[in-house]
Amino acid sequence: MTSRIPNLLDDFKKFEKIIKNHDLNNDELDLSQIDFLTPTILLPSINFAENINIKNYIVNDKTDHCIKSILGLEEPIITSMPYKKFTNKNNIEIDSKFSDQIKEYGGVNATQFLIGEMINNIHDHSDFTIGYALAQLFPNIGVADISFMDNGVSIPGRFEEYGFEFKNDCDAIHQAINGRSTAIKNEEMRGTGLNSTIRLVTEGNKGSILIASRNGACYINEKEINYKSVEDKYIKGTLISIRVRKNSIDIYPYMEKTTFKK
């Protein structure tokens, strides 16, 4: 069902290519080579642009309205939640029309749980000041992409603060998705929020999830888990993108922790 659009990892690689090709002396970010902009491409691209004070984007005719509506320069697309910011003192407000639509993807309980867990994860672990969100429904394909990002210390950075040992940034993400939590001071205890979110998305919904934090990234779907290194300064904080299918699932069988193997 999702074969008509690239997977989340391929989308993230497109973001990396955008940043790699960007000339730091250029005051525009060139997105014109991409005909299909998804939240996994757009959210970190917009965040990167804001961090270096870029306000203009080069796009093509196919994506011009998309980027303008996402940035609030034109009337929003009914199937999208435009680029939103929230702080460590308040949560994101989701438009009621979009909220009603996205409930069809995974079911009302699952959708609320997923969004709530991603926001809670940012509040609990990242030591952030600003968070960012972007979502897009693809009704003709039957999937929804939801992305959250923060400007916090990143998963590896947080592990360093707590003195947790890890081989590299991908290993830190691997430990985090397997339940190692800096929100719990007792190292023998393990958090289940991110772990349960991944199980709900990949096993319950047959969807996929991408986590990128500092110099590491992890992509998980029902069949596989892939890790990749990320060049320095591409991601400040953590990006989490999920792709869910248009079906209803029971969240409760996925609340127990499992182990994700490399």
pLDDT reading at 261 higher than 80: no
CA distance 26 to 57: 11
β 143-150/130-138 pair status: antiparallel
pLDDT tens digits, 99-133: 888 888 888 888 888 888 888 878 777 788 899 99
Residue 14 pLDDT grade (very low, low, confident, very high; cuts 50, 70, 90): very high
Question: Which pLDDT belongs to residue 179?
Answer: 80
Question: Which pLDDT belongs to residue 184?
Answer: 52
pLDDT reading at 180 higher than 90: no
Question: Which pLDDT belongs to residue 249?
Answer: 83
Q: Give alpha helix (H) positions in the chain.
A: 8-20, 39-51, 64-70, 96-102, 108-125, 155-162, 169-177, 193-199
CA distance 245 to 248: 9
Question: 176, 153 in Cβ contact below 8 A?
Answer: no
SS3 of residue 74 by DSSP: coil
Q: How many CB atoms lie within 10 A of CB 25?
A: 5
Average pLDDT across the chain, whole number: 87
Residue 183 pLDDT grade (very low, low, confident, very high; cuts 50, 70, 90): low
Q: What is the average pLDDT across 37-53? A: 94
Q: Which is higher by pLDDT, 98 or 200? A: 200
CA distance 14 to 226: 17
Q: Which helix (H) or strand (E) holds 5?
A: none
Its sign, for the CA torsion 174, 176, 182, 184, is: negative
Question: Which pLDDT belongs to residue 192?
Answer: 59
Domain boundaries, the chain: 79-254
Domain spanning 79-254, CATH architecture: 2-Layer Sandwich (3.30)
Question: Which pLDDT belongs to residue 194?
Answer: 86
Q: What is the average pLDDT across 196-204? A: 91
Question: Which pLDDT belongs to residue 191?
Answer: 43
CA distance 59 to 184: 44
Amino acid found at 127: D
SS3 of residue 171 by DSSP: helix
Question: 114, 106 in Cβ contact below 8 A?
Answer: yes
pLDDT reading at 188 higher than 70: no
What's this model's pTM, rounded to 2 decimal places?
Answer: 0.91
pLDDT tens digits, 57-94: 999 999 999 899 998 888 878 888 889 988 888 777 77
Q: What is the average pLDDT across 167-173? A: 96
Amino acid found at 60: N
Question: Which pLDDT belongs to residue 255?
Answer: 72
Question: Which pLDDT belongs to residue 247?
Answer: 85
CA distance 17 to 7: 16
Which residues face 182 on adjacent strands?
none
Q: What is the average pLDDT across 184-189? A: 44
Which residues face 221 on adjacent strands?
208
CA distance 167 to 243: 29
Based on its alpha-carbon atoms, the radius of gyration of the chain, rounded to whole angstroms, reads 17
